[in-house]
Amino acid sequence: MKTFRLGGIHPHDNKQYAAHRPITEVPLPQKAIIPLVQHIGAPAKPIVNKGDKVKVGQVLAEAGGFVSAPVHSPFSGTITKIDSTVDAWGMRMPAIFMDVEGDEWLETIDTTPTINPVCKLDSKEIIQKVTEAGIVGLGGACFPTHVKLMPPPGKKAEVLIVNGVECEPYLTCDHQLMLEHGEEIIIGIQILMKALNINKAIIGIEKNKPDAIEHMQELASRCLGISVQPLKLKYPQGGEKQLIDACIKRQVPSGALPIEVGAVVDNVATIYAVYEAVQKNKPLISRVMTVTGKEVKNPGNYKVRFGTPLADVLALAGGIPETTGKIIGGGPMMGRAMNNVDMPANKRISGLLLLPDSESHRKEAANCIRCAKCVQACPMGLEPYLLAKLAGLQRWDDMEQHYIMDCIECGCCMFTCPSNRPLLDYVRMGKATVGGIICARNAK
């Protein structure tokens, strides 16, 4: 069975808590905060004003540049103010505040459950629809999807690789989405193949989801050019460079994008959003997220509209257990601890993981013993022990020369370290600093 070639680890997947829980819709809140930074790139620019009445699906803010995405209203109601808010990690960002007064949708949006299998649009029209719908990568990166569909001059897509891996422990939202909306995902794949002018797509799914593999294989068998590739369990196989290597045995060069080897990678949730945008005229206003943990009362997969307080989602899952020591936005490997659950759901958050206090404290760090386990585990072929040391010494130029910007922040290094060193913390700090230096240098 296929997998990627370099590094990787095998953490316990802990998916049994939320696996096979049907997708449940979270009720509408009374008040909502819609962040204008829900993607990589420039913030969206508001085009509504205080006092405006809006409907579900209406544009609230337009894209702030090519690498940006518009933001749409997930609710109908009244805009109360345009201000800034603090997200669940303490970062301040612009946002639109509104009173939710109902669920009145724009008349142009098809809200029926009917599946529309035939796409009558051409490539340019599909890309325009995806752009206008504000679709971004829902696998974690939140990179605007329309940018992937417009390769630079001289580059040509050859294959669409569909990410159904969901290798992050505990999370099950993509798994359940494939089981409940596999047909729409297949139609979305065909739409993207048409947009990219290609005739080949591969759906990568890890072998711990045998029902999803069987279901998607049965659906894909009816469609020319689409196949399902079962993959060995290995983290971080959901990383796009690792998935490309696993599926087509091509390695993306340092500093390059997947299009360099003829590949475009999209998550299954992103592709479902493409289907809804193109066939239903529905913008991206919600996503499925997993709420889980060993002591969560009602773990499961919840469909949440952006702007809904995360506290409302947690309440539907049975509330926060008294034994909870840490709440993580995302999974345990790449997610980050949250300090505020009153903040709104957005396109970036794929899950809420509630860790018991007994599992929430780091062990005391000891000296590095030069065992090189972090080097063996790194799926990007880096030297995490060295990068962490350079970050501590603030040797930013040396970090750049040692390919810090290739780091995907997967946490494999920290997971394997027998000395419990905070390698990922140092590497993240160093990568952010070096990235800022590179941006400043390029702007001159």
The residue type of 178 is M
The residue type of 41 is G
Using CA atoms, how far residue 310 sits from 88, 103, 142, 302, 331, in Å, is 9, 19, 19, 11, 16
What residues does 160 pair with on adjacent strands? Answer: 201, 264
pLDDT reported for residue 88: 74
pLDDT reported for residue 340: 86
Using an 8 Å Cβ cutoff, are 310 and 284 in contact? no
pLDDT reported for residue 40: 86
CA 194 to chain centre: 23
Q: How far apart are the first and last CA of the chain?
A: 48
pTM for the whole structure: 0.96
What residues does 71 pair with on adjacent strands? Answer: 61
Using an 8 Å Cβ cutoff, are 258 and 408 in contact? no
Q: Tell me the C-alpha distance between 57 and 71, whole Å.
A: 9
- DSSP string for residues in 312-327: HHHHHTT---TTEEEE
Angle between helices 268-280 and 173-196 in degrees, nearest 10: 60
pLDDT reported for residue 126: 98
The total number of residues written for the chain in this structure: 444
Tens of pLDDT, residues 377-426: 999 999 999 999 999 999 999 999 999 999 999 999 999 999 999 999 99
Per-10-residue mean pLDDT of the chain, 444 residues long, equals: 96 96 97 92 93 98 91 98 86 93 97 95 97 93 92 94 97 98 98 97 98 98 96 97 98 94 97 98 98 97 97 97 95 91 92 95 94 98 97 96 96 97 96 94 84
